[in-house]
Amino acid sequence: MNDIIIIGAGTAGLSAAIYARRAGKKALILEALSYGGQIINTPEVENYPGIKNISGFDFATGLYEQAADLGAEIEYVRVTGIESNADGSKTVHTTDGDRECKAVIIATGAKNRPLGIEREEELTGSGVSYCATCDGAFYKKKSVAVNGGGNTAIEDAGFLSNFCSKVYVIHRRDEFRADVHEVEKLKAKENVEFILDSEVTALLGDDELTGIEVTNKKTGEKKELEISGLFIAIGQMPDNTAFASVVDLDEKGYIIGKEDCLTNTPGVFTAGDCRTKAVRQLTTAAADGAVAALAAAAYCG
């Protein structure tokens, strides 16, 4: 019997594992893909207190090693559901059988939101990407576009502008969610062009992306841009349907949980981007991990 099972090895989950181990609890992390979560694909992190600058990969690896060194175990399996038993213990169903524990922390983060336009799926991997850090190197000295106006889009555009000949930033409004400081830094780059109040309305090319059609939302004017790569960075969405029978979700699918990381089911806690919250940042994910783990440790007794 594990004390605490943590679902998800992103910043929230790994932070929870560190706190659970330091509280003397047996902690098992179940991860469907690979450790690190969303931050592993971020080129540079410059707003984690105490660390001036670090790559997302190094940050995630450091966190993973810290949790592993403290004795947290990790298994790469997909969780398909959670059952709360009559004695208060939990059964976690996975694609590789069941795991038993006293308390569960759901820290599943969020996944990339697709644009939802025709041929998006077909051209993913052939010019359409959701990860500038992973795929950016394929576009050295080429023209690319980034779609979105949040921190991810602005940081991705900054990263790509270091080696692509031209970077278009296409955003549906003329104001940004991204930090002002980052937007100003990007505006100063000569090979970056902002196309605002605009949406990507078509993907062009046969087997490979060769361009996009962009439509100005205010004027209706359409134009075609010749590009080799389109990086879609229009936010995330949660992936919590497997837990809908054990915890309440809001209308967007986020687990309802406040700063105390409690859900409506005793012994089931939630941490990080998968829960309802106002600020989704590395710092708040790490903080949630600590709060959820200490609450879960208290539940275990």
Report, in Å, the least distance between residue 229 CB and ligand NAP: 17
Instruction: Give how far Cα 28 sits from Cα of 20, 21, 53, 102, 105, Å.
Output: 10, 10, 30, 11, 10
Among candidate residues 58, 96, 134, 260, the one labeled active-site is 134
Report, in Å, the least distance between residue 115 CB and ligand NAP: 6
Comparing CA positions, the residue from 296, 259, 238, 265 lying closest to residue 113 is 238
Q: Which tokens is 30 given?
A: 């179940």
Query: Catalytic site residue 288?
Result: no
- Using the rule CB under 6 A, is 234 a contact of ligand NAP? yes
Interface with ligand NAP by CB under 6 A: which range of 70-78, 125-133, 137-145, 172-180? Answer: 172-180
Applying CB under 6 A, among 111, 140, 173, 217 the residue interacting with ligand NAP is: 173
Instruction: Give how far Cα 79 sits from Cα of 27, 209, 242, 294, Å.
Output: 16, 35, 8, 23
DSSP SS3 for 248: coil
Query: Catalytic site residue 164?
Result: no
Q: Which tokens is 136 given?
A: 């950016």
Report, in Å, the least distance between residue 235 CB and ligand NAP: 3
240-279 residues in contact with ligand NAP (CB under 6 A) are: none
Q: Which tokens is 174 given?
A: 């003329």
Query: Catalytic site residue 131?
Result: yes
Cβ-based nearer residue to ligand NAP, 130 or 299: 130
Q: Which tokens is 277 given?
A: 């919250």
- Using the rule CB under 6 A, is 151 a contact of ligand NAP? yes
Applying CB under 6 A, among 89, 91, 216, 236 the residue interacting with ligand NAP is: 236
DSSP per-residue string spanning 19-52: HHHHTT--EEEEESS-TTGGGGG-S-B--BTTBS
Q: Hey, which residues are catalytic here?
A: 131, 134-135
The residue ranges that bind ligand NAP (CB under 6 A) are: 42, 45, 47, 115, 148-153, 155, 171-173, 177, 199, 233-236, 280-281
